[in-house]
Structure 1
Amino acid sequence: MSDPTATAPTATTTTAPTATAPAATAPAPAAPAPAGAAPGGVEPGGGEVVTRDQVEAAYRALATGDRALIARHYDPQVRWLVPGDHPLAGWYEGLDAFLDLMARAGKLSGGTFAMQRLAIMTGPGCSADLTHNTARRAGTPQDSASPFERLDAVMFHLMRWRQGRIVEGRDGTFGDDATAFSQFWSPLAGDGTRLP
């Protein structure tokens, strides 16, 4: 991976598309890693060097909700892992499942889900980025400070690329942000009431 200080960007923000998603489905169980993958499913460095521009372009495409544009940057067989202990956690297999995840996140957050990129690192066949993720659950008070209603967490994304497209992505959180991430996407508010 390249020196993160050499590629430290001006922060940019991506929002989740708010298009109506197909019927929600549970994430697929973990599939075996592709042939030749290292333990954990992420191939070691190899292949073309991913550029910062490629990473930014993939995020911009995702924010549009335009499937054809997104497919230029995300492989049709993309695999994506969402961490945590909540209904959105798990593996998503294929572009349709990944886009359904993004649409569900947009719906649950009333279109407020946003990722402000803090840093992007790239290397042969891979990229990693840090984002400041914010959102408010749909239908909750704007001034709520409850972790069940407001998301404010730093995330990282590790992505594996092949032939200019993302073939695998893994979200990650640490410490209190991991707890906050699971609380926010959980189906219950702090007072026990059901959220949309």
Structure 2
Amino acid sequence: MRRPARSRQLPTFLALLQSRPSRKDSSRPVADFLRRRAKASFLVRAHRAGCMLLIWVWPTPIRLSRDLAGSGQQREEVMTDVTLRNQNSELVRRGYAAFNSGEMDTLTQIIDESCTWHTPGKSPIAGDYEGREATFGQFGRYGGETNGTFRADLLHVMASEDGRVVGVHRNTGERNGKRLDVLCCIVFDVKNGKVIDGREHFYDLYAWDAFWA
């Protein structure tokens, strides 16, 4: 049985953007028509569901639909979300840098006084910690029990419009003849420019627990 021919129609969102020349275009000089087509080449940045969609529109007359273009208020909301995500991402980057360099003043500015922290597993350092003082105590164990060799080297940062930021990093350190090298991510909840919650997740929790045992 022959398979039905695959549709060559453009996706709906591109179909909305592209329109064919009107009948009036055929009566215009060819050079003028090509010039207008060339002017129509541009990049459209559309924000949908907190993600940036980058679309290349081929040289053809363009008509942006009212729904895709959005109102001025919608564009302002999108820009506000992007700005907030950038600010929260930068906050987390500063936090990683301050943690590795031991800048407690910076960490105090970044982490809220009522912050909660969660370390999974069955090791002696696993548990839930309430308050900035208890959270800093956990950070102190990381450095104290490894003679200052513990590090969290940031690899990637991802942020959403609801105040959550995910930091993906590599944990390394040495303790009692054992060496740690595991991937980890921390899900931060950020509110009003401060971290109010942090949850650690490890790629290899068994290796993490074995290091601290």
Do they fold alike, i.e. is TM over 0.5?
yes
Q: For 1:10-159, what aligned pairs fall within 5 Å after superposition?
A: 48-49=84-85, 50-124=87-161, 125-137=163-175, 139-140=176-177, 149-159=178-188
Q: Which has the larger helix fraction?
A: 2
Alpha-carbon deviation of 1:162?
0.5
Task: Tell me what 2:191 maps to.
Answer: 162
**Can you give the 5+ residue segments of structure 1 that lack an aligned partner in the other structure?**
4-44, 141-148, 187-196
Deviation at 1:103, TM superposition (A): 0.9
Which residue identity lines up with residue 166 of structure 2 in the other structure?
Answer: A
Supply the distance in 2 between the matched residues of 1:92 and 1:56 (Cα, whole angstroms).
Answer: 22
8 Å CA contact 1:158, 1:169 repeated in 2:
yes
Superposed CA offset, 1:81-109 (max 9, x none): 00111110010111111111111111111
CA distance in 2, matches of 1:178, 1:109: 18
Q: Deviations over 1:110-132 (max 9, x none)?
A: 11111111111011211001111
Distance 2:186 2:130 in 1: 17
Q: Does the 8 A contact of 2:149 with 2:172 survive in 1?
A: yes
Aligned length: 132
Q: Distance in 2 between matches of 1:94 and 1:65?
A: 19
**Contact kept? 2:96, 2:153, Cα under 8 Å:** no
Question: Is the 8 Å Cα contact of residues 83 and 171 (structure 1) preserved in structure 2?
Answer: yes
Percent pairwise identity: 27
User: C-alpha separation between the residues in 1 aligned to 2:198 and 2:137?
Assistant: 15
Matching residue's letter, 2:174: R
**TM-score between the two structures when normalised by the length of structure 1:** 0.62
TM-score (norm: length of structure 2): 0.57
Residue segments in structure 2 that go unaligned for 5+ positions in a row? 1-48, 52-80
